[in-house]
Structure 1
Amino acid sequence: MSQPVLYSFRRCPFAMRARMALDVAGIELEHREILLKNKPRAMLEASPKGTVPVLVLADGRVIEESLDVMHWALAQNDPQAWLPVTPLEQGWIDRIDGPFKAALDRYKYPNRYEDSDPRVARLTCAEALDALNSLLSQQRFIHGDTAGLADNATFPFIRQFAHTDRTWFDAQDWPAVQAWLQHFLESERFERIMIKHPLWQDDG
């Protein structure tokens, strides 16, 4: 294997943020688009946990957590200075990956969770976005004047939240968050990482 292999699913926010970092770092790789309901044997052999992203390096090492993929990519090349991650940024990553993501799942997929109330879940997410809007009213990005790892690691989840009910999201008093999100959605990088790839299947 001469270059890394990335197992990915286009719409997965964890895979999105990994692809954002791999793109900015200019990492050449083999992209293997998979279906989560029909995971290829080769991916499961590399990473039995069965979630994306999975990055198999040329030397055979496997990186199977999205933030680890981001850090590995930026350790190779960080042309836009996404690193280092400040304590404030880490706090936002932890909040979005933790309580925000848990509530987002219950808002977007209430039937998957017993006794889930999507209205309560949406309120939990909204409280986080109230705080993020306050921060982004003072500085353009979580990282500061320019976008960093925290911005690129969190926006895919806020995108998913926004698209669950875009009319409701657009009606909220979050002008800074809405402008921040739109910045990423309109970027050439996001367009590149969202290119549709043919489904990859194991040989034979």
Structure 2
Amino acid sequence: MKPRPLLLASSSPYRKQLMTKLGLPFQAASPDVDESPAMDENAEQLATRLALKKADALAGDYPHHWIIGSDQVACLEDGTLLNKPESHERAIEQLVRSSGQRVSFMTGLVLLDSSSGERQSHCEQFHAHFRQLSTEEIQNYLYAEKPYDCAGSFKMEGLGIALFNHLEGRDPNSLVGLPLIALTDMLRNWGLNPLLNPPVC
């Protein structure tokens, strides 16, 4: 298969930063999708469905691209979903509930060939084991980083690393929002190896 231009179906600055690690030229565009969970949909199903919806939403505007769709859903061990908090108060609630618990992050990933409709999909799991957090620690963390646009109310790439006892999973990039190991596997499946292509200067 001949490689096509890459399009990241996301407006997330975190995913864009991760994508640049591969040294491959790409564009980014923001898909307009409803991210509401369906009835009885679990975290893995939701993440995978939304990743596909994001890629599909841009296929008509970019008909000759490989479109990368990704979406992340966080959940507690009882299956409760942790969405982007959007406010300080909701972020406090999420971190209080996560304190001392294992929070699982399901990151759906889709690579769509918009010209043929062929696609690859994957859901990467990553688990964050939270320390027992005091009210003061939670408040200070939120005031420091204001992670209100992040599922689970933290940024692992910043001070959020201090919230955890340990992390469990094969690709820490997935915790930020884009599983690069799985993505490079998909690209190689279609004949594009980042290690055999010149880096972007």
TM-score calculated relative to the size of structure 2: 0.31
More helix by share: 1
